[in-house]
């Protein structure tokens, strides 16, 4: 995706050459999705449509922020939620620009919250002593301010690193 962004920067620097590539490839540039042809040229027009749409949103967001050539990969690695978080942020900004109502995020989705509330509370002693040095543990705060342990999440290093970055800053 980072290389696709770099390609989009090059396309902006050489619009005639880019237009020729678009025409030769049988693609069209639409105002509402200007990065779609870029990702189709880079990944192929037969690539998964959902991924193409997400990648186009990421490129649009990178242009919105004015990221420099070669910097998107690092940006995605540091962004909250990674690539998916950037896609979400861009879609939210696009909806705002279109004057559409934006739903505020207010915690965990209701269906998932219901399932989490149904889990039996554990003590810290109930967690296995063996395992990786660092782990994620889910807790719940009840209406009385009590904190209970819901469980330890399976080892997932990327998820652990994202959480750790939020914890240590």
Which domain, by its residues, includes 32? 2-97
The pLDDT of residue 122 is 92
* Domain end call among 49, 75, 97: 97
- Pairs from 63-66 (Cβ < 8 Å, separation ≥ 24): 63/8, 63/35, 64/90, 64/93
**Does 82 lie in the same domain as 16?**
yes
Give the model confidence (pLDDT) of 112-140 as tens digits: 888 999 999 998 899 999 999 999 999 99
* Domain end call among 49, 72, 97: 97
The pLDDT of residue 104 is 64
The pLDDT of residue 72 is 97
Confidence of residue 96 (pLDDT cuts 50, 70, 90): confident
* Domain end call among 71, 97, 123: 97
Mean pLDDT across 158-163 = 89
**11-15, 38-42, 165-169: the lowest-pLDDT one:** 165-169
Residue 105 falls within a domain, yes or no?
Answer: no
Q: How many domains does the chain have?
A: 2
**Does 81 lie in the same domain as 30?**
yes
């Amino acid at each position: 995706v980072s290389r696709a962004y770099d390609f989009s920067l090059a396309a902006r620097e050489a619009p005639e050459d880019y237009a020729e590539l678009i025409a030769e490839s049988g693609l069209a540039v639409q105002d509402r999705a200007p990065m779609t042809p870029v990702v189709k040229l880079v990944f192929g027009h037969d690539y998964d449509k959902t991924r193409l749409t997400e990648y186009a949103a990421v490129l649009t967001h990178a242009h919105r922020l004015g990221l420099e050539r070669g910097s998107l990969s690092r940006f995605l690695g540091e962004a909250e939620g990674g690539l998916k978080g950037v896609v979400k942020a861009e879609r939210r900004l696009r909806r705002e620009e279109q004057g559409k109502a934006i739903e505020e995020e207010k915690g965990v989705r209701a269906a998932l919250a219901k399932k989490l509330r149904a889990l039996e509370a554990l003590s810290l002693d109930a967690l296995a002593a063996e395992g990786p040095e660092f782990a994620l543990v889910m807790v719940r705060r009840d209406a009385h301010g009590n904190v209970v342990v819901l469980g330890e999440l399976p080892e997932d290093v990327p998820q652990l690193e994202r959480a750790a970055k939020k914890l240590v800053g």
